Amino acid sequence: MNSVDENKLGNGRTIRYCVMRVLNDLRDYSMRDYKYLAQLVINGWGDMNIYHTESVRVKYLTPNEAHIVKFPNDYVRYTKIGINVNGTIWTLTLNRSMVLPQGQECGIDVNDTENGLKFISSINNSVGGFYFVDHWKRGQYVGGLYGVGGGVNTAYYNIDEANRQIVLSNKLPRNELIVEYISNGLSENTVIPYQAVKVVVNYVHWQRIEFDPRVPMSEKQRKKDLYEESVMEYRDLQLMFTMNEFLDSLYSSYIQAPKR
């Protein structure tokens, strides 16, 4: 594993850092169980992202010729799917009755679920809309991206969970999709927030004895309790307002107007 300068990660810590915390607790400096413990750290952080932190990401994905988009490797579930049409982001409509592609021809996905009509750009008046989370796009910060909802009743998609992909109606142009999704937080450069390190470390201490028949049930339960307590502490911390956040929330309800 490549060496990483922890001081350059700010509030983040690497998987290696968490493993070394566990080894230090165990007074074990042999490194013989490093890979096993590293996998437990990965499992623990993945569970945190799915059940407790809900790390939300945005990806810009281009459909292939069959109007199919593969989900990213860290995908858990999607929250919004939109498409750029003439400078406006339109959130698309889920159609679970849309037939999913059944195969390939010459190794290429085939989508013959519709007749390939062109997307109708004369869109009805929209109803409401949705903001995408702030994110980075090719090195540029994108904040306040707004997706208009409703009115696009000819633009459908379906989710092919088995193959981890989005299947789009052939009526849609092959424009770049904007996909907001819950991530498991795992990638080649996974960085764990410092506030979550205690949770992950407690998870590893629990899991490393959970399936060991030599360890008493009372000790397993104690380790599980410590893990669950640290999860609750982390969740409480995530919900806490800082003073600046409180003031921002307070002042956002006021408007500037001439005094009488």
Q: Which of 25-29, 103-107, 126-130, 177-181 shows the highest mean pLDDT?
A: 25-29
11, 10, 1: which is closest to 19 by C-alpha? 1
Close Cβ partners of 4 (under 8 Å, ≥ 6 residues apart): 14, 16
Q: Which of 24-33, 70-79, 119-128, 228-237 has the lowest mean pLDDT?
A: 119-128
Query: In the prediction, which pLDDT does 84 show?
Result: 81
pLDDT tens digits, one per residue of 119-172: 434 444 444 567 787 777 877 778 778 777 654 455 688 999 889 999 988 777
Close Cβ partners of 102 (under 8 Å, ≥ 6 residues apart): 110
pLDDT tens digits, one per residue of 18-53: 999 999 999 998 999 999 999 999 999 988 877 776
Question: Cα angle vertex 122, ends 119, 124, to 5°?
Answer: 115
| Greater model confidence, 141 or 215 | 215
CB 73 within 8 A of CB 190: no
Q: How many residues does the chain have?
A: 260
54, 63, 56: which is closest to 136 by C-alpha? 56
**DSSP H stretches of helix in the chain:** 15-26, 34-48, 194-210, 217-239, 243-251
Question: Among positive and negative, which fits the CA dihedral 144, 169, 54, 57?
Answer: negative
Domain ranges of the chain: 6-53+187-240, 63-175
